[in-house]
Amino acid sequence: MPIGITALGTYVPERVLTNKDLEGMFDTSDEWIVSRTGIRERHLSAGDEFASDMGVRAVNDLKARYEGALEGVDLVVCATSSPDAYFPSTAALIAGQVGLAGVGALDISVACSGFVYALSVAQGFIMAGTARRVLVVGAEVLSKIVDWEDRSTCILFGDGGGAAIVEEVPAGYGFQSFVLGADSAGGPSLYKFAVADHIPGVPVGTGNAMLGMNGREVFKFAVRVLADSGTQALDKAGLKGNDVDWLVPHQANVRIIESACSRFGIGMDRTVVNLDRYGNTSTASVPLALREALDDGRIQDGDQLLLVAFGGGLSWAAGAMKWYGGRGQGTHAAQAEKVAVSG
């Protein structure tokens, strides 16, 4: 049974924080940030906007683009690093606000790898016969968990959401392979405390209550696992780098993406990059990049895609898929309609 994505919607908050804005907050510069990360601006949620809001508005965008997109959905899977609460799940909060109250709903917590993980989980539920159509959401308000006095980390992150319908697709389309992994030995390099005030490798009482990161270690890890997991996903699917029409990576740092591309042998001209305008939106970054490449016509029906991501945990995920455009690529909703469904 071939399974793939048949609909896709996204959302980012209205407020934009540019590098120039950051220059007025602490000692940094636009040139310094761009040269090290490739990021020029990011979108930040309002004080009363949370991960569930990002998810609901991404689902509303999906509904505006694809008529009847939520009909028959029997499971909601939400990947998030910044949930509204420990419980109820952010997935359940989203489901209740988009007309899906009562369906199964669960969260996935593997940081920035979460959206690709969630696609794999959705595929598994469908193949097992437990679900027929799954709504997969990646939703983040990272601006609410970063330390705004730590210029090395707060410059990196933004907020947003993405939503996809996963279901059976025609033969020759859909997911071809997934590679998932995690290694807690790397946890001290990228973490966020919850109930515990420590994790193995971080001395008790020394950790930051907000997101903590060792950028140098994360960079080295990311370059390696993006290349390794992506290569493994291609191998499992019987593919090579030159078979890939579009690489869609997690949008964390342009230098990480460039290094991974060189290892794949996939040129930047075949890589979807939009982090300059959104920063690192964690679980929302892959759907935001996918949606942009669909809207501008780069990704077409039948294109071979490779999705790769890494995140806290440390975790990683990769997936090969043949894009199915049979439901249409999703039309641009009229601006007034988008405001109505997103507001």
Please list the active-site residues: 112, 250, 280
**Which phi and psi angles does 180 have, rounded to 5°?**
-125, 145
Question: How is 262-292 classified by DSSP, letter by letter?
Answer: HHHT--GGGB---HHHH-B-GGGHHHHHHHH
Pairing of strands 15-18, 41-44: antiparallel
Contact 307, 164 (CB under 8 A): no
78 Cβ contact list (under 8 Å, min separation 6): 51, 55, 89, 90, 91, 94, 105, 106, 107, 108, 118, 136, 137, 138, 139
> To which residue do tokens 């509904």 refer?
63
Distance CA 110, CA 278 (A): 20
User: How far from chain centre, in Å, is Cα 143?
Assistant: 15
147 Cβ contact list (under 8 Å, min separation 6): 153, 154, 208, 210, 211
Element (H, E) at 179: strand 174-182
Distance CA 82, CA 91 (A): 12
**Summary count for the chain: helices (H), strands (E):** 11, 13
Buried b (16+ CB within 10 A) or exposed e, 299-312: beeebbbbbbbbbb
DSSP H helical ranges for 146-205: 151-154
SS3 203: coil
Distance CA 124, CA 180 (A): 13
